[in-house]
Amino acid sequence: MDARAPAKRRAWSWRSRAARGLVYQVVALALIAAGVWFLAFNTQRNMEVRGIQSGFDFLGQAAGFDIGETLVAYDPSQSYGRAIVIGVLNTLRVAVVGVILTTMLGVLVGVGRFSRNALVRGLCYGYVELFRNVPILLQLLMWYLFFVEVLPQPNEAWKLADLFFLSKGGLSFPVPVWGTGQGLAAVGAVLGLGVGWWWRRRVHRHFELTGQDGNRWAVPVAAFFGLAFVGWLAGGAPTAWNVPEQQAFQVDGGAAVTPEFMAVLVGLVMYTAAFVAEVVRGGIQSVSHGQTEASGALGLSRGQTMKLVILPQAMRVIIPPLTNQYLNLTKNSSLAVAIGYPDVVSIANTTLNQSGRAVECIAIIMLVYLTTSLSTSALMNAYNKRVAIKER
């Protein structure tokens, strides 16, 4: 005789909260889908009545315009699609570098607000109040005017050790001549990052089990540079560098970034870092002062207290608003069109004017920023789950 209890059947009665919730969600999705379909269908019909072409077939047509700053090779005879890819890469270039520099500067200023030195506290306070209360567009214009008006001409560029040259033409700096040795060094560096990540996780697990913390940086740093050095040696230890040189009218050689890129990057970093500093300050202040007193009683220095006690607890408060600031930085990069930096908005606008495909170009811009924002949110949410305090 089978003594097993009969399987419980899920109640789909209207009195069930779960059933009602499912029905409401299905109805809401259906209404949203119907609204999107109606807008798309109505737009398509109106465009057909007025003889306006539609579709994304124009992406395969020749663009016919040049782009002043590219990360990969581009020619005006290539397609609109290729040009838009160049714009997306330029936008990501500003966003990624800007997020890294903003984090570094914002954390330093935020921690500096708690310095015992009155001058340091005052400078950090003045920086925050100045840059966060001036509109970002004005700051971008200010930095752009500085780089194209205040700096000297390229033939009289400011230089440092005959290696770095700063002028109205941009910033020039030496770069290695890329070859097998540099490629293997890059592979070694990536492997070093993997080893460093493994080591830090190992030290963290040991700390959770025993309460004894180890050095989390020595091995990762040694692995990064050591494996990169091994790869460089395996590739023949190349030493060739492409060094910029001062010429009669300009600086030739090396790599360079344009004044437009520097203006966008510096403006976004200085503006967003002010908000990040306030986020860090609020997170630190959320930690009870008793934690600081207990750390002092255990003999920890102020630096150790901030690193090992305060910041790890403050991260649960810092991460959510910090994500918002990263998203703001990425979206504010669209203002680069005001100073001529060829980001995705600028190139899409040029494409729109030439092809007449307004709806399609605007949809591409929306898709790019939606994708970057959702990707940033996903990464930060994953990191937030990792650093969140685990309840036992």
Kindly report the average pLDDT of the chain as a whole number.
85
Task: Tell me the C-alpha distance between 240 and 105, whole Å.
Answer: 33
Share of the chain above pLDDT 90, in %: 32
Q: Which CATH superfamily is domain 80-151+257-387 in?
A: MetI-like (1.10.3720.10)
List pLDDT tens digits, range 265-292: 999 999 999 999 999 999 888 888 888 8
Spell out the domain ranges in the chain.
80-151+257-387
**Rg from Cα positions in the chain:** 27
Residue 199 pLDDT > 70, yes or no?
yes
* 287-296 own/partner pairs: CB under 8 Å, 24+ apart: 287/313, 287/314
List pLDDT tens digits, range 21-36: 888 899 999 999 999 8
Longest dimension (CA), the chain: 100
List pLDDT tens digits, range 334-381: 998 888 899 899 999 999 888 888 888 898 999 999 999 999 999 988
List pLDDT tens digits, range 250-266: 888 888 888 999 999 99
Residue 9 pLDDT > 70, yes or no?
no
Residue 127's pLDDT is what?
94
List pLDDT tens digits, range 202-257: 887 887 787 777 777 788 888 889 988 888 888 888 888 888 888 877 888 888 88
SS3 of the chain: the string is: CCCCCCCCCCCCCCCCHHHHHHHHHHHHHHHHHHHHHHHHHHHHHHHHHCCCCCCCHHHHCECCCCCCCCCCCCCCCCEHHHHHHHHHHHHHHHHHHHHHHHHHHHHHHHHHCCCCCHHHHHHHHHHHHHHCCCCHHHHHHHHHHHHHHHCCCHHHCEEECCCEEEECCEEEECEECCCHHHHHHHHHHHHHHHHHHHHHHHHHHHHHHHCCCCCCCHHHHHHHHHHHHHHHHHCCCCCCEECCEECCCCEECCEEECHHHHHHHHHHHHHHHHHHHHHHHHHHHCCCHHHHHHHHHCCCCHHHHHHHHHHHHHHHHHHHHHHHHHHHHHHHHHHHHHHCCCCHHHHHHHHHHHHCCHHHHHHHHHHHHHHHHHHHHHHHHHHHHHHCCCCC
Sign of CA dihedral 209, 217, 273, 100: negative
Residue 11's pLDDT is what?
54
List pLDDT tens digits, range 298-333: 887 777 787 778 888 888 888 889 999 999 999 999
pTM: 0.80
Closest CA to 143 of 268, 263, 269: 263
Share of the chain above pLDDT 70, in %: 94
Q: Give yes or no for a contact between 168 and 147, defined as CB atoms under 8 angstroms apart.
A: yes
Residue 297 pLDDT > 50, yes or no?
yes
Residue 1 pLDDT > 50, yes or no?
no
CA distances from 236 to 80, 229, 232, 239, 363 (A): 41, 11, 7, 9, 49
Task: Tell me the C-alpha distance between 61 and 357, whole Å.
Answer: 13
List pLDDT tens digits, range 117-163: 899 999 999 999 999 999 999 999 999 999 988 888 888 888 888 88
Closest CA to 21 of 8, 29, 34: 29
Residue 324's pLDDT is what?
92
Please give the average per-residue pLDDT across 81-97, as a whole number: 92
Query: At 68, is the pLDDT very low, low, confident or very high (cuts 50, 70, 90)?
Result: confident
